[in-house]
A and B are shown apart, each in its own frame.
Chain A
Amino acid sequence: MLDNGLKVLVHIDQSTPMAVVNVLYDVGARDEDPQQTGFAHLFEHLMFGGSVNIPDYDEPLQVAGGENNAYTTNDLTNYYCQLPSENLETAFWLESDRMLSLAFSKKSLDVQRKVVCEEFKEHYINKPYGDVWHIMRELAFKEHAYRWMTIGKELSHVENAQLEDVKRFFFKHYTPSNAILVVAGNVSVEQVRELAEKWFGDIPSGEKYKRDLPVEPEQQEERRMTVHRKVPADAIYKTWHMCSRLDDDYYTTDLLTDILGGGASSRLYQALVKEQQLFTGINCYHFGSLDAGLLAIDGQLVKGVDIKKAEDAIEAELDKIRHGLVDERELQKVQNKTESVMAFEDMSVMNRAGSLAFYELLGDGEIMNTEFKKYQDVTVHDLKRIANVVLQPSNSNTLWYLAEN
């Protein structure tokens, strides 16, 4: 850790000629003002609009043979670039300057507001079922900031963003003490230490942001909603509140979603798509969010199927998993699958750098190497217990998304 609070992690892999620089900022859509949603994500766009000493981020990186991208979630914002390792210092220069301060260009804000509005339209307005998660988040969360999506609650929040808001957001969240730097690939610890001191060392630490979000009160009774839209087929979306990514029960909950909806041999797919033919497709998953979040099931109905009947069929499967014990072989199947997913995720240096930053945010980069053990420790009794805690009607939110006419 540098004196200003920036955490620095190094991962060495000399089999590649490349280096990866990953900067994770501990800020996401959950940290936004409810009247100014979509800001963390808009801000991610502005991070490419020039910093205090460098007019353009992308160009010098491309000259150095690099490429980059970034993403924003409800929990965090992550920036990463990859370039030939001889040019590593270019990435330090670029990343440190935009941590020091942005250029706060009016033109960049004007253009990126429009770009984000087009992104909003492309993914959430101009697509069938595009508004589902806007509706569902508002149904499921009454207090917590997960009630809006990263793109923002409405277009106007992004359209109205002002330069002053941008500055305030920057100096509140984009400080060394709110960031984690991971450098990976064909690099050495000494080299990274030296470059980190040189480029990031003199950035003022800023005030450590203290997150104090309202806790979502425990849901007491079932919530339901029906909407009608111009879509070809009815769909059903159900969510239940679940524990946070940091909770010990997270691993059991994760495996539970795999048993229900992880692929072609999962319970929901086999029973409802193949055997009963009520759905054309059905999924079960969760958001893995850092605060307590949601487990979800969504399915699109075969035309002509009664939605009540389809929902009852889902409930019948949930009933089975609440009351019976999962087969040992079935548990082992999803554990094996998890092991293999982890191995494949670790294939590229870029992914490993991103994971390391994420685990450091969770509290310790080392978790990356010990997490599989926690999956192996899950028992069939754990699965039954979590199914009974989470998959209760009183904890559920149901959206019927019906085709007009």
Chain B
Amino acid sequence: MPDRSQAPHIKDAIEYAITLKKPEIFTLDNGVKVYNVNAGTEEVVQIEWIFKAGNWFEKSNNLASATNFLIKNGTSKKSAYEINEYVDFYGAYLNRSCYNETAVVTLHCLSRQLESLLPMVQELFLDAVFPEEELHIFRQNMKQKLEVNLKKCDFVAGRKIDEFLFGSKHPYGVYSIEEDYDALDVDALRNFYATYYQQGHCSIFSAGILPANYAQLMNGFFGSLPFNQSSIVVQEHSIVPATEKKWNIINDPEGVQGAIRIARPFPTRHHPDFPKVQVLNTLFGGFFGSRLMNNIREDKGYTYGIYSFLVNHIHGGAWMISTEAGRDVCEATVNEVYNEMQALRDGNIDPEELLLVKNYLIGTLLGDLDGPFHIIARWKNLVLNGLDDSFFYHSVDTIKNISAEELKTMANKYLQPEDFYELVVV
């Protein structure tokens, strides 16, 4: 019978050497860079075409996301249905997503179907036509979806906290209202498409088991498109944060929970404190064993879950705490968040707790590098933020070597209640 009171011996995760496999990179004739992680156990591929076409570049609200969404809803030769049927027939997924700086078209398919699908993707970048009727349906459905979402306290809280941090005119703080959808018109979409997709700035990230002639294939379909021919004018947007720091909003008088967001501005990955604060954040509220979770969920049962995280945009970010708590315990929850900040500013972190967080972080990092899709995701993040793997290795070193004292310094620098916006939406 084993001695169950004794934990088995472990190898500390921080003793592991972690390597981030480098991607292969080739450049198409038009200068588009293609990053590839050619690996995996399944015969599948993921390719992302990333355009500098996020809402940072739009002149009117929702223009970037509407263009991105409708890019596969019709070309001069094929209807939206024909495009969808074609993609589905090959068992593929063609998704699009729009972010602040970038807009992405993603293809997932079995490796052997790739050659049949690439011409279709090429057609979308050459010849999307944005039919009036498709915009009409999009507008109608999005407005209704927005109306449903506005009934949810967490949705409302998420919009408002971004507005407080960045201002309602800033790409990171702006949000949709019904009228924005009404104001969209196909000419604006077609113009945005021409500038930011057809003649836009593109980079490509692929992962999975790629065919032997992959470089040739990609160059054939995408190397002669007029991408990356002129540099994109980077627009400046100034951050206008709210002057009032504390907000209470009643969205649903009968609501049984409140959505709580507590957040402060925080610099980008380029700031020297960033890797250190990543560790501090983990300990504070970044995982299931964090102080916030232990106190507010596991000890008091105020919430199903509470997390803190760094909001990483390319030009600026935030440090945010987010939870939904019982309506009658929202105030107590907010107070406990501040108590935990104070404990980190004033108290000393126990070496065991610090080692736990370090091992956890390295352990999850090892797990996160499992498989080509995860590895390319890391690289995409680095490349789009103008970083390389030295940032990755520096972060790993920081996790392994940071001291309790350094974390306390970070807590005193950044976890000051007066710097935080505080919002409760019922």
Contacts and interface: CB of A to CB of B under 8 A. Distances in A.
Nearest to B92: A340
Contact of A67 (B9, B85, B364): B364
B216 interface: no
Interface in A107-153: 110-119, 121-122, 125-129
B248 interface: no
B4 A280 contact: no
A349 B148 CA distance: 37
Given A63-B359, A86-B11, A90-B10, A53 B4 contact: yes
Contacts of B91: 333, 336-341
A121 B326 CA distance: 8
Interface stretch (A13-21, A209-217, A285-293, A386-394): A13-21
A93 interface: yes
Given A17-B366, A347-B371, 16 more contacts: A59-B289, A63-B359, A66-B360, A67-B360, A93-B4, A100-B4, A114-B302, A118-B257, A118-B324, A270-B81, A273-B141, A280-B141, A280-B144, A281-B141, A347-B41, A348-B370
B42 A344 contact: yes
B304 A115 contact: yes
B363 interface: yes
A329 interface: yes
Contact of A232 (B89, B144, B356): B144
Contact of B356 (A53, A63, A111, A333): A63
B304 A349 contact: no
Interface in B273-318: 287-289, 297-304
Interface residues of A, number: 81
Contacts of B356: 59, 62-63
B80 A274 contact: yes
Contacts of A329: 89
Nearest to A334: B88
Given A97-B4, A264-B88, A62 B144 contact: no
B140 interface: yes
Interface string B310-336: 000000000000001110000000000
Main SS at interface, chain A = helix
12 contacts: A65-B13, A84-B363, A86-B10, A86-B11, A111-B301, A116-B304, A118-B325, A126-B152, A126-B256, A280-B141, A333-B88, A333-B89
A302 B360 contact: no
Given A65-B13, A333-B85, A122 B304 contact: yes
Given A67-B364, A277-B140, A233 B147 contact: yes
Contact of A93 (B7, B110, B326, B366): B7
A266 to B, nearest CB: 8
A116 B326 CA distance: 11
Contacts of A274: 80-81, 137
Interface string B82-114: 001101111111000000000000001110000
A60 B257 CA distance: 33
A233 B357 CA distance: 46
Nearest to B72: A264
A349 B42 CA distance: 12
A126 B255 contact: yes
A199 interface: yes
B147 A264 contact: no
Contacts of B297: 111, 115
Interface of A: 13, 15-18, 52-54, 58-60, 62-67, 82-84, 86-87, 89-90, 92-93, 96-97, 100, 110-119, 121-122, 125-129, 198-199, 202, 230-233, 262-265, 270, 273-274, 277, 280-281, 300, 302-303, 329, 332-333, 336-341, 343-344, 346-349
Main SS at interface, chain B = mixed
Nearest to A65: B363
A349 B141 CA distance: 38
Contacts of A128: 148, 151-152
Q: Which of A66, A119, A346 has the most CB of B within 10 A?
A: A66
B214 interface: no
A302 B142 CA distance: 11
A54 B304 contact: no
Contact of B88 (A82, A112, A116, A337): A337
A348 B302 CA distance: 34
Nearest to B355: A63
Contacts of B11: 84, 86-87
Contact of A84 (B13, B108, B256): B13
A333 B81 CA distance: 14
Given A118-B325, A302-B140, A62 B367 contact: no
A231 B355 contact: no
Contacts of B370: 16, 18, 348-349
Contacts of B80: 264, 274
Q: Which of A112, A340, A341 has the most CB of B within 10 A?
A: A340
A358 B304 CA distance: 27
B7 A90 contact: yes
Contacts of A54: 4, 7
